[in-house]
Amino acid sequence: MSSSSISACEISSSKLPWKHRLLLRIGTIITDACCRSDFTVNRWLSGTLDWKIPPSTKPIDGVSSFDLTIDTSRNLWVRIFNPIIDDEDSNLQSLPLIFYFHGGGFAFSYADSALSHTSAHRFAKQLPAVVISVNYRLAPEFRYPCQYDDGFDALKFIDEVGEEILPAKADLSRCFILGESAGGNLGHHVAVRASEYTLKKVRLVGFIASQPFFGGEERTESEIRLRNQRPLNLRLSDWFWKAFLPEGEDRDHAAANVFGPKGRDVREVMKFPATLVLVGELDLLQDGQRRYYEGLKRMGKEVKMVEFENAIHGFFAFWDLPQYSSMIKEMKDFIATHTQNSIVFASSSSTKK
């Protein structure tokens, strides 16, 4: 059978276990029901179905967690995950710090939603790292640039008071941003802002963009070919942009098409961190992600791209799939490499002084 004779949904379904196919179908139905035609969200329905997990100062599966409020006026807060490390392992007495931005098309999920909480918990344990999951405002009630403001303000807050409230082993000189889907888009814009801001304690050394949500007015080949793919199809992708971008703007807005006609050249952003871009073979956003990789490379930034076969958008939510294990390995290697580079840089800086 030729590739043109089989639909994208059939391709993905044939590669996934039945339980994942069922979850994708249910998730698609729920999301469609919550996304209204006037580009508002049925918050009652989404809230009813959004299972929340509380923090726990008592370690659960090797990780404790607690919440910290930054600004009550906009409900900006973070959930901090602290992995419990064996005292005998001297190599892990200090841990990198990760600012985590969840996905959800800028319109769904919170830091205490089951998926976001569990993802951050697993990252804290498996990488390992102290993870700060940021609860940013959601569209369409809060459009661009509210999410970027929240993400950057959370980073600035930690820069100001981090040593006072973070676990003692959190190393502020080895900080990373990790963003999934819309969180990957958010992570890019926060990284640009942070690179142009004089941070006191936080040193941002890496950015992990896991299937980042970028777009543009011109349709890419993957958007057309995988337009009916679950869980993110082309119609839903367009809906998310319409609900997030300022009224009257199109997908060539700099928030979506970061290196497009209205985008920002980051050549002059000297401190932009080394970047790892993770791409799924069955993700309709893959061409935009490759374009992002090529853009950073063209602008002289350190960037690596890894593609995962048979991986749908959001495969990072299916922790029992082999692609997830491969993703964790890539993240660990990236963090280890740039943690070592950070140590070398700090040592050379100290010697110069």
**In whole angstroms, how large is the CA radius of gyration of the chain?**
20
Question: Is the pLDDT assigned to residue 257 strictly greater than 80?
Answer: yes
Strand order in the sheet with 63-71: 63-71, 76-83, 130-135, 95-101, 170-180, 204-210, 274-282, 303-312
Closest CA to 183 of 253, 230, 119, 130: 119
Alpha carbon distance 151, 135 (integer Å):
8
Give how far the C-alpha of residue 132 lies from the chain's centroid of Cα atoms, to the nearest Å.
Answer: 12
- In angstroms, the CA 3 to CA 66 distance is 48
Which of 213, 19, 180, 21 lies closest to 11, judged by CA? 21
The per-residue b/e assignment along 140-176, b for 16 or more CB within 10 angstroms, e otherwise, is bebbbebbbbbbbbbbbbbbeebeeebbebbbbbbbb
Q: Over 60: is that where the pLDDT of 251 sits?
A: yes
**Percentage, residues of the chain above pLDDT 90:** 81
Task: Name the residue ranges covered by the structural domains of the chain.
Answer: 53-85+92-346
Q: What pLDDT score does 271 carry? A: 94
Under the banding of pLDDT at 50, 70 and 90, the label for residue 97 is very high
More confident residue, 88 or 327: 327
Identify the active-site residue in 65, 109, 181, 342: 181
Given a contact cutoff of 8 angstroms between Cβ atoms, the answer to whether 208 and 165 are in contact is no
- Strands (DSSP E) found in 170-203: 170-180
pLDDT of residue 220: 97
Residue 87 has pLDDT above 90, yes or no: no
- Place 282 in a pLDDT band, splitting at 50, 70 and 90: very high
∠ at Cα 214 (17, 310), nearest 5°?
A: 20
Q: Which CATH code for domain 53-85+92-346? A: 3.40.50.1820
> Is residue 342 very low, low, confident or very high in pLDDT (cuts 50, 70, 90)?
low
> Which pLDDT score, from 0 to 100, does residue 92 have?
64
Does the model's pTM come out above 0.85?
yes
The verdict on whether 173 is a catalytic residue reads: no
Q: How far is CA 288 from the centre of its chain?
A: 15
Length of the chain: 353
pLDDT of residue 91: 60
Q: Which two tokens stand for residue 147?
A: 């999410």
φ, ψ (nearest 5 deg) of residue 172? -70, -15
The pLDDT of residue 162: 83
Asked whether the bond before 55 is cis by omega within 30 degrees of 0, the reply is: no
Looking at every residue in the chain, the average pLDDT score rounds to 91
pLDDT greater than 50 at residue 348: no
The stretch 251-270 carries a mean pLDDT of 95
**pLDDT for position 81:** 98
The model's pLDDT over 120-139, given as tens digits with 9 standing for 90+, comes to: 999 999 999 999 999 999 99
What local confidence, expressed as pLDDT, does residue 4 receive? 34
What is the C-alpha to C-alpha distance for residues 35 and 151, in angstroms, rounded to an integer? 24
Q: Are 20 and 318 in contact (CB under 8 A)?
A: yes
Burial (0-12, 13-18, 19+ Cβ within 10 Å), 227: middle
Handedness of CA 119, 336, 157, 139 (dihedral sign): negative
The upper half-sphere exposure of residue 306, i.e. CA atoms within 13 Å in the direction of its Cβ, equals: 17
Per mean pLDDT, which range of 179-183, 219-223, 227-231, 296-300 is the poorest? 227-231
194 within 8 A of 155, measured Cβ to Cβ: yes
Q: What is the pLDDT of residue 24?
A: 85
pLDDT single digits (tens) 28-61: 899 999 999 999 999 999 998 899 999 999 999 9
Mean of pLDDT values over 314-343 = 90
For residues 138-157, give the mean pLDDT.
98
- Segment 203-219 shows an average pLDDT of 97
pLDDT score of 5 = 33
- Inter-helix orientation angle 182-195/146-165, to 10°: 70
Q: Which band of pLDDT confidence, cut at 50, 70 and 90, is reported for residue 89?
A: low
Among this protein's residues, is 253 annotated catalytic? no
DSSP state of 2: -
- Per-residue pLDDT of 4-31, as tens digits, reads 333 444 444 446 788 888 888 888 899 9
The active-site residue out of 20, 253, 313, 338 is 313
- The residue behind tokens 């969840």 is 102
- Residue among 213, 201, 256 nearest 109 (CA): 213
Which one of 112, 159, 283, 287 is the catalytic residue? Answer: 283
